[in-house]
């Protein structure tokens, strides 16, 4: 499998690093990046090919990963359009809708749109992807193999669900950081040092997430198990329920989903 990356920044580097860790041949990877410094870094770090313009990447690989910032997608797609044949184009750009990308690519239909998240930078991401029907089973499998270099991959049946994915796992790391910050603030307010508070909050989150991931039981069951009748956890959860914390989280995620939809419309304007 040969792969061409358009945009060789943070996310492309995360994917390339992951592929090479799985013994992918660096000579099968070409990255197109307009920034000379970025190209030099890619060559030095990964020994892949790096070129300044898409015309220098011909023949293109069977899979093309578009990894430029959303506001650069239109220009990058329009430069790619005349060179396309049957390749599958995978976009990881947040918010760019398939219909807009297809239009900028001159009607190309072998398209996959996905939404990774920041933990992808350390191979611990979760990516959701949606493929158009013209993407073959083999192309989908090839794309999944590449995306797995960033972590886990799920497929969604309808593109609008990617707005929900954006609101849940795309923005999700910020919610997790907010929760850790809040727990740390509580610890400091109740007498612990900043350092103690930080380690307690972070390790509690890390350990609980690992426990949930390894357990065969649902998180709700795990929560009930640490909530003894009349105990401390029950007191905290009752207080949070009175403050409607869960409803507030759902409202927040809904706001993110609506914003994701609006951004898609704005980014798709010609
Ligand atoms: N970071 C995340 O967690 C995350 C999560 C979900 C989705 N994404 C998506 O991933 C994409 C890439 O993000 P990133 O953080 O990796 O971006 P980045 O670090 O800015 O990398 C993009 C690279 O592409 C170059 N570039 C710009 N226009 C180009 C063109 N027409 N042809 C070739 N190269 C071009 C940029 O050069 P210049 O710097 O000179 O412009 C830059 O070196 C974004 O669309 C983002 O929405 C990221």
Assign 232 a pLDDT band (cuts: 50, 70, 90): very high
Assign 71 a pLDDT band (cuts: 50, 70, 90): very high
CATH number at residue 38: 3.40.50.720
Asked if residue 136 is part of any domain, the answer here is yes
* 32 CB within 6 A, ligand 1: yes
Q: Does 1 have pLDDT greater than 80?
A: no
- The answer, as to whether pTM is greater than 0.85, is yes
> Which residue is closest in CA terms to ligand 1's atom 21?
9
* 161 CB within 6 A, ligand 1: no
* 67 CB within 6 A, ligand 1: yes
- Cβ burial 88-116 (10 Å sphere, 16+ → b, else e): bbbbbbbbbbbebbbbbbeebebbbbbbb
Query: Which of 58, 47, 49, 11 shows the shortest CA–CA distance to 30?
Result: 49
Measured in Å, residue 245 CA sits from the centre of ligand 1 at 35
152 and 178, same domain (yes or no): no
Summarize pLDDT for 214-225 with one digit per residue, the tens: 999 999 999 999
* 68 CB within 6 A, ligand 1: yes
* 41 CB within 6 A, ligand 1: no
Q: Which atom of ligand 1 is nearest to the CA of 7?
A: 24
**Number of structural domains the chain divides into:** 2
- Domain with 81, as residue range(s), is 3-157
Terminal C-alpha separation, the chain = 33
Measured in Å, residue 73 CA sits from the centre of ligand 1 at 9
Q: Which of these three, 133, 157, 181, is where a domain ends? A: 157
CATH number at residue 234: 1.10.3730.10
Asked if residue 269 is part of any domain, the answer here is no
* 10 CB within 6 A, ligand 1: yes
Summarize pLDDT for 142-194 with one digit per residue, the tens: 999 999 999 999 999 999 999 999 999 999 999 999 999 999 999 999 999 99
Measured in Å, residue 66 CA sits from the centre of ligand 1 at 9
* 165 CB within 6 A, ligand 1: no
Asked if residue 165 is part of any domain, the answer here is no
């Amino acid at each position: 499998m040969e792969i061409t990356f358009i945009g060789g920044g943070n996310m492309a580097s995360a994917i390339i690093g992951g592929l090479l860790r799985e013994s992918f041949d660096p000579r099968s990877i070409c990255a197109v990046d307009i920034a000379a410094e970025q190209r030099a870094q890619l060559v030095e770090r990964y020994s892949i090919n790096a070129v300044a313009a898409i015309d220098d990447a011909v023949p293109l690989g069977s899979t093309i990963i578009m990894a430029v910032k959303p506001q650069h997608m239109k220009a990058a797609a329009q430069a790619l359009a005349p060179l396309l044949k049957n390749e599958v184009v995978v976009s990881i750009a947040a918010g760019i809708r398939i219909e807009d990308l297809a239009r900028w690519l001159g009607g190309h239909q072998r398209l996959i749109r996905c939404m990774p998240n920041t933990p992808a930078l350390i191979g611990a991401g979760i990516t959701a992807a949606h493929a158009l029907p013209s993407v073959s089973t083999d192309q989908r499998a090839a794309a999944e193999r590449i995306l797995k270099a960033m972590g886990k991959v799920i497929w969604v049946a309808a593109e609008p669900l990617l707005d929900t994915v954006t609101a849940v796992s795309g923005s999700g790391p910020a919610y997790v950081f907010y929760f850790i910050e809040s727990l740390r603030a509580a610890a400091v307010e109740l007498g612990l040092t900043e350092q103690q508070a930080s380690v307690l909050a972070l390790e509690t989150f890390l350990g609980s997430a690992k426990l949930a991931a390894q357990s065969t039981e649902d998180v709700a069951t795990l929560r009930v198990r640490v909530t003894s009748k009349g105990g401390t956890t029950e007191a905290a959860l009752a207080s949070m329920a009175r403050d409607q914390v869960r409803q507030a989280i759902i409202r927040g995620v809904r706001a993110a989903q609506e914003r994701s939809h609006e951004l898609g419309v704005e980014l798709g304007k010609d």
